[in-house]
């Protein structure tokens, strides 16, 4: 279990992020067109998991915009923006913002994503949503970077995450 905060109030997640060198857990997520994708759909690519509570908050929206900007220059890398938002909300946001360098995915059908990645929030006002985290895997599916953002209202350390991919 990890302890994080929302506006300074402690809250807990279901577990710990996958550790460096571990394999990315098997996952199934829902795309904006309601089709499902999983690990096998991204084999041979480096993956950046930008995980967040909801696209309808300023910090979450900022992280999607920032990773969208960076994604265009990352070789053999896909940025997966993952939340429990419905695919319709993700589609509305990405369409309105013109964000097409990231892949917006929903965990609304699959509770195991949050549990397996250690990011489901267990208590507090955001219980059931995903915490803010960045996990990066190499082309073989092994974790090369993991950040659990300690305060949900803070953005992730983009510089540290993106420097791993240079």
| Structural domain for 43, as ranges | 3-146
Q: Is residue 161 part of a domain?
A: no
Domain count, the chain: 1
Q: Going residue by residue through the chain, which has 166 residues, state the pLDDT in tens, using 9 for 90 and above.
A: 899 999 999 999 999 999 999 999 999 999 999 999 999 999 999 999 999 999 998 888 898 888 888 888 899 999 999 999 999 999 999 888 888 889 999 999 999 999 999 999 999 999 999 999 999 999 999 999 999 999 999 999 999 999 999 8
**Single pTM value for the model:** 0.95
Beta bridge partners of 103: 80
| Active-site annotation, residues | 60
- Buried residues in 104-132 as b, exposed as e (16+ CB within 10 A): bbbbbebeebbebbbbbbbebebeebbbb
Picking from 39, 64, 77, the residue whose alpha carbon sits closest to that of residue 164 is 77
Q: Is residue 151 part of a domain?
A: no
For 45, phi then psi, to 5°, come to: -115, 150
Distances (CA, A) of 93 to 13, 67, 89, 107, 143: 26, 14, 6, 17, 28
Q: Is residue 163 part of a domain?
A: no
CATH of the domain at 109: 3.40.30.10
Q: Is residue 25 part of a domain?
A: yes
């Amino acid at each position: 279990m990890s302890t994080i905060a929302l506006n300074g109030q402690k809250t807990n997640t279901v577990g710990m992020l996958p550790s460096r060198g571990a394999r990315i857990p098997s996952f199934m997520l829902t795309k904006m067109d309601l089709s499902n994708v999983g690990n096998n759909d991204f084999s041979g690519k480096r993956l950046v998991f930008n995980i967040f509570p909801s696209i309808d908050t300023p910090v979450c929206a900022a992280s999607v915009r920032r990773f969208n900007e960076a994604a265009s220059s990352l070789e053999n890398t896909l940025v997966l923006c993952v939340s429990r938002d419905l695919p319709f909300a993700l589609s509305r946001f990405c369409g309105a913002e013109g964000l097409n360098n990231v892949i917006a995915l929903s965990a609304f059908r699959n509770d195991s994503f949050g549990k397996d990645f250690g990011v489901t929030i267990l208590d507090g006002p955001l219980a059931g949503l995903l915490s803010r985290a960045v996990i990066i895997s190499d082309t073989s599916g092994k974790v090369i970077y993991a950040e659990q953002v300690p305060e949900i209202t803070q953005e992730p350390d983009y510089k540290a995450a993106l420097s791993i991919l240079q």
